[in-house]
Amino acid sequence: MSSEAILAKNLIGKKIVLGICGSIAAYKSALLTRLLIRSGAEVRVCMTKSATTFVSPLTFSTLSKNKVLTDLAANQEWNDHVEWGLWADLILIAPATANSLSKMANGITDNFLTAVYLSARCPVIIAPAMDLDMWKHPSTLRNLKQLREDGVHTINVEKGELASGLSGEGRLAEPINILVYLDNFFYHSKKLLGQKVLITAGPTQEKFDPVRYISNHSSGKMGIALAEAFAEQGAEVMLVHGPVNIELPDHPSILLFPIKTAEEMMNKCAELHPTSNIAVFSAAVSDYRLKSTSEKKIKKTGPEGISLELIQNPDIAARLGRNKTPEQIHIGFALETDDEEANAIDKLKKKNFDLIVLNSLNDKGAGFGVDTNKVSLITQNNVQKLELKSKVEIAKDIVSFAFQHFIVKKNN
């Protein structure tokens, strides 16, 4: 089993709606569900009524650890097919029968499964299963052609013994083959394969004696979410992060470079920057550090206060902005309390950013420590205001924005 899990590493964290139609091959969907779950996917199963006569929904709710839906309404309650459609990263219909293919090709939504299909914005993959002659029937071929034109991907049926006793084409692809297809599908849908991304995250700590330092409230959540979102799209990420109290990503494409001070962050970034295609400056770098630090703990000597002399830290984004090549893309952050947009645009120019992500401390649910943020994405000639969202969602939006506005353009 563990070899399947390794085979399908591109399924980690993917949200999959598995639609099961009424074919004897529905029993194979139980193993398929297990393989998907073991590969780290989150699975919701919906079944046609006829599928439930072959295999019990209980089998799938147990395997997927989610409720299984069949009807558009049950117990006088509406089942929200729209929410399912929007939730999914992928809809997989396996087995897909001639009957359901025909409904899908014609926009008929008389059950939960076909209603989810019509509500979805994500890719749809079908793995048909039917008898030899049904598979070759002109109406099936017509429906499949229509579905392909509608953007639906098909996993080829396999040849062999069929439930009817005949032998030929029409068998549902073996679950392991479906898993490999999905793994490849997710791998090739990654938009940032081959891109190297440098990300700064978290606070820096500026020490003044062995037990004390100056720092700030940055949690590192935004930078870590960005690292995960870039890696998710196939990029290789170099995450230079200050001391954070949250779990660091454990992802094969994210290299971690822990630092403490702004100077250490500067040196590490200067070393990594020339190899990067994209640099994202999300760290809350301390603007100042102590002019001199004490090797011994500073003792309280008398009733008087003490003064600490601060000197400026390097501005990492500004310095690297001066070395930026025309091929490199720089993304920065601005946290402003007044004249927000004007200040952010000013920073965009001064630090040579291609995009600046503005968050305002005036917005509820935005800023340090919290899981949500309300930001605007600002370029030289465009301001896009996003609603309050989780930092994970914002990170995904920033990655999509960078892909559409910079990478696609540069490649054209």
In the complex, which residues of this chain contact ligand C5P (CB under 6 A)? 200, 262, 281-283, 285, 287, 313, 315-317, 332-334, 347, 351
* Angle ∠(241,361,344) on CA atoms, nearest 5: 75
Least CB distance to ligand C5P at residue 147 (A)? 46
216 a catalytic residue: yes
Least CB distance to ligand C5P at residue 391 (A)? 15
d(CA 201, CA 219): 9
Least CB distance to ligand C5P at residue 309 (A)? 18
Q: Which of 177, 216, 267, 352 is catalytic?
A: 216
Sequence-ordered strand ranges (E) for 48-162: 73-74, 77-78, 90-96, 124-128, 153-154, 158-161
Least CB distance to ligand C5P at residue 223 (A)? 9
SS3 category, 333? strand
Closest to 125 (Cα-Cα) out of 191, 51, 185, 64: 185
CB 105 within 8 Å of CB 74: no
CA 141 vs CA 96, 138, 293, 359: distances in Å? 14, 5, 77, 53
In the complex with ligand C5P, the residue whose CB is nearer, 220 or 234, is: 220
CB 92 within 8 Å of CB 60: no
292 burial class (0-12, 13-18, 19+ CB within 10 angstroms)? exposed
d(CA 313, CA 410): 34
In the complex with ligand C5P, the residue whose CB is nearer, 287 or 341, is: 287
Least CB distance to ligand C5P at residue 323 (A)? 13
In the complex with ligand C5P, the residue whose CB is nearer, 97 or 313, is: 313
In the complex with ligand C5P, the residue whose CB is nearer, 97 or 200, is: 200
Q: Give me the DSSP letters along 157-201.
A: PEEEE-TTS-EEEEEPPPHHHHHHHHHHHHHHT-TTTT-EEEEEE
In the complex with ligand C5P, the residue whose CB is nearer, 22 or 314, is: 314
Active site residue ranges: 216
